[in-house]
């Protein structure tokens, strides 16, 4: 079978981007009035909403932790978010993404300041076009900041991958489907600490090191946009 051409000789991708270019990103906060904090992100064709609630009473009560707040992030994909209708409700993929997002955010939220409480973050994927765990995590971190919940820093995320043998950042759907590797990553930007790193596919050690730097730079651009939208709130 002929290889699907995802990037041309000049290094230009199907949507006109260069290999190190992130898709266009728009961020908004405070979009859901009933939530303690919220965020909406359009990132390429992805549309993602995140709403944070708490610190508040936790149910079921046996989950209470007398030493810290319990953070629970729930990632869900709307049935209409993808081309084929997605079966509503939880599945293995959303449980996995909820888990890795919760773990990534637990490393920045100062949970010990709110013992015996719960903080819930709901991430709703309204339209999906690859990279939704990165968009969801970026939005969840903004929603927590919008809620005024103390954190060491934001978490910013971006993915990278390999298509037609070339390394690129921020895969869109065709690149994700027909590419050779997908590497989502999330960082605590001030320390450049990695709090999520997954890899689907194969890279050589040198390719990994190069892509790691490209994705790190992508995530740092995302961080600048997060700070910009939060600063606007307080201006
Ligand atoms: P991510 O969205 O973080 O890249 P995946 O690599 O698992 O996560 O998924 C890539 C893309 O595949 C998604 O963004 C979405 O566009 C599509 N996708 C995921 N799950 C489904 C599904 N159940 N039905 C149709 N498309 C899906």
Q: Per residue in 64-109, pLDDT tens?
A: 999 999 999 999 999 999 999 999 999 999 999 999 999 999 999 9
User: Is the residue at 4 inside a domain?
Assistant: no
d(CA 219, CA 157): 5
pLDDT value at residue 107? 97
Atom of ligand 1 nearest to the CA of 129: 16
User: Is the residue at 214 inside a domain?
Assistant: yes
Instruction: Output the CA 13–ligand 1 centroid distance in Å.
Output: 20
Residue in the structure block whose two tokens are 């921020």: 170
User: Is the residue at 18 inside a domain?
Assistant: no
| The model scores a pTM over 0.85 | yes
Taking 50 as the pLDDT cut, the residues of the chain under it are: 1
- The response to whether residue 131 sits with its C-beta less than 6 Å from ligand 1 reads yes
pLDDT value at residue 19? 98
Q: How many structural domains is the chain composed of? A: 1
Question: Quick one: tokens of 25?
Answer: 């990103």
User: Is the residue at 20 inside a domain?
Assistant: no
Instruction: Look up the domain containing 135 and give its range.
Output: 25-233
User: Is the residue at 5 inside a domain?
Assistant: no
- The response to whether residue 176 sits with its C-beta less than 6 Å from ligand 1 reads yes
Question: Quick one: tokens of 169?
Answer: 């950042």
User: Is the residue at 32 inside a domain?
Assistant: yes
Ligand 1 probe mutation, 43, 76, 82, most atoms within 8 A of CB: 82
Instruction: Output the CA 128–ligand 1 centroid distance in Å.
Output: 7
What CATH number does residue 86 fall under? Answer: 3.30.230.70
User: Is the residue at 161 inside a domain?
Assistant: yes
User: Is the residue at 9 inside a domain?
Assistant: no
Instruction: Output the CA 212–ligand 1 centroid distance in Å.
Output: 22
Question: Quick one: tokens of 156?
Answer: 């910013």
pLDDT value at residue 2? 58
d(CA 181, CA 47): 23
């Amino acid at each position: 079978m002929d290889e699907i051409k995802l990037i041309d000789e000049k290094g230009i991708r199907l949507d006109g981007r260069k290999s190190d270019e992130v898709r266009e990103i728009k961020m908004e906060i405070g979009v859901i009035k009933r939530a303690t904090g919220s965020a909406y992100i359009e990132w390429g064709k992805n549309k993602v909403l995140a709403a944070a609630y708490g610190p508040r009473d936790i149910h079921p009560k046996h989950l209470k932790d007398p030493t810290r707040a319990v953070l629970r992030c729930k990632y869900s994909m709307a049935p209409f978010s993808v081309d084929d209708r997605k079966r509503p409700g939880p599945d293995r993929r959303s449980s996995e993404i909820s888990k890795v997002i919760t773990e990534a955010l637990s490393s920045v939220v100062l949970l010990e300041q709110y013992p015996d409480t719960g903080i819930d973050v709901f991430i709703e994927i309204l339209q999906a076009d690859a990279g939704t765990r990165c968009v969801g995590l970026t939005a969840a971190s903004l929603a927590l900041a919008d809620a005024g919940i103390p954190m060491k820093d934001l978490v910013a995320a971006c993915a990278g991958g390999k298509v037609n043998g070339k390394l690129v950042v921020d895969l869109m759907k065709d690149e994700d489907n027909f590419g050779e590797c997908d590497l989502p990553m999330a960082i605590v930007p001030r320390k450049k600490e990695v709090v999520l790193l997954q890899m689907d596919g194969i890279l050589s050690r040198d390719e990994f090191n190069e892509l790691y730097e490209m994705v790190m730079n992508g995530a740092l651009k995302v961080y600048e946009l997060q700070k910009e939208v939060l600063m606007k709130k307080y201006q």
